[in-house]
A and B are shown apart, each in its own frame.
Chain A
Amino acid sequence: MEMDVVYQKSAGLEDVEFHYCPGCTHGIIHKLIAEVLVELDLIGDTIGVAPVGCAVFAYDYFTCDMHEAAHGRAPAVATGIKRALPDKTVFTYQGDGDLAAIGTAEIVHAAMRGEKITTIFVNNTNYGMTGGQMAPTTLIGQKVTTAPLGRSKEHYGSPIKVSEMLATIEGAAYIERVSVHNMAGIIRAKKAIKKAFQLQQEGAGFTLIEVLSTCPTNWGLTPNDALNWLQDNMIPVFPLGVYRDITAEDK
């Protein structure tokens, strides 16, 4: 019986091993981006900007050109690349410690200027690479190494909601929050990433897809339990959905 290959590692990813912990959903998000860039035939014309954090080696994993940025400054670097090479597709890949803490000014102002870049924002509610410290996105009550009794609202405030915040900015063309905790979520996340890159092609403005992600190692859970923890604890605080879509307003 003849058989067709229906799924294999994307041509948008290098044939190298990922350094990520077992079950970390960074790997799923990487391949969604790679698959979308291949499907849109953009992989040869794309420049990605890697962050500081767990995804710092992202430049080794994608087959497109990649650049590294100082902590939180990926949107500023991407701005320069896109303005110098406006025909290229430019994206940043940033975690919550990178984008929502040290890089908050860069992301807000890149959105305000309506930079025609796409940001993939990976939210796993902690600083993963450095050992699970509290991030601005850490949930109330969530135990992290720098808040061993759990984040208290009184001391540290409430988690920052990046998609909701950026959706108030006029320069933003498309903002959606997705999750990769199950098959339906993975399919939805891929569609969202595809839409963001298509809108960038059309010159619509700034696009950001926030992807809820797991951190099994620092959460102290097995990878499958971490997916369930994400569903039960993160989604109620960070509801999934489209937060801004200027193409919908046109209709």
Chain B
Amino acid sequence: MKGKVEFRSDWCKGCELCIPVCPVDIIFIDESVTNSKGYHPATVSEMEKCIGCANCGRICPDSIITVWREKRVKKAEK
């Protein structure tokens, strides 16, 4: 796993802006869930594919996405 994302689902408005900017195509709208705002929130299907590019975070108008990326290990520490 190179990256990880977390969505604050109760604040998601289901606008879908994060979906086309994901280079590994793992974000989808979860129609089985309705949040307290009445929207189907965005979620991630196969987190192990996430590369931590943060495109979804940068485009999310409601700033509900936090992105992590694997710590870079310096050559000397390997």
Contacts and interface: CB of A to CB of B under 8 A. Distances in A.
A24 interface: yes
A18 B19 CA distance: 20
A6 B14 CA distance: 23
Contact of B69 (A6, A28, A216, A223): A6
A157 B18 CA distance: 37
Contacts of A222: 16
A23 B19 CA distance: 12
Contact of A17 (B20, B59, B62, B70): B62
B75 interface: no
Given A7-B67, A222-B16, A18 B62 contact: yes
Contacts of A22: 13-15, 39
A210 B4 CA distance: 34
Interface string A8-47: 1110010001101111111110010000000000000000
Given A7-B67, A224-B17, A25 B61 contact: yes
Q: What size tier do the contact residues of chain B reach?
A: 20 to 34
A84 interface: no
A7 B66 CA distance: 6
B3 to A, nearest CB: 8
Contacts of B27: none
A24 B57 CA distance: 15
19 contacts: A3-B69, A3-B70, A6-B67, A6-B68, A8-B57, A8-B66, A9-B66, A13-B63, A18-B61, A22-B14, A26-B61, A27-B62, A27-B63, A28-B60, A183-B59, A222-B16, A223-B16, A224-B20, A227-B17
Given A3-B4, A186-B58, A224-B16, 19 more contacts: A1-B1, A1-B70, A1-B71, A2-B70, A2-B71, A3-B70, A4-B69, A6-B52, A6-B67, A6-B69, A9-B64, A17-B11, A18-B61, A18-B62, A23-B17, A27-B60, A186-B59, A224-B17, A224-B20
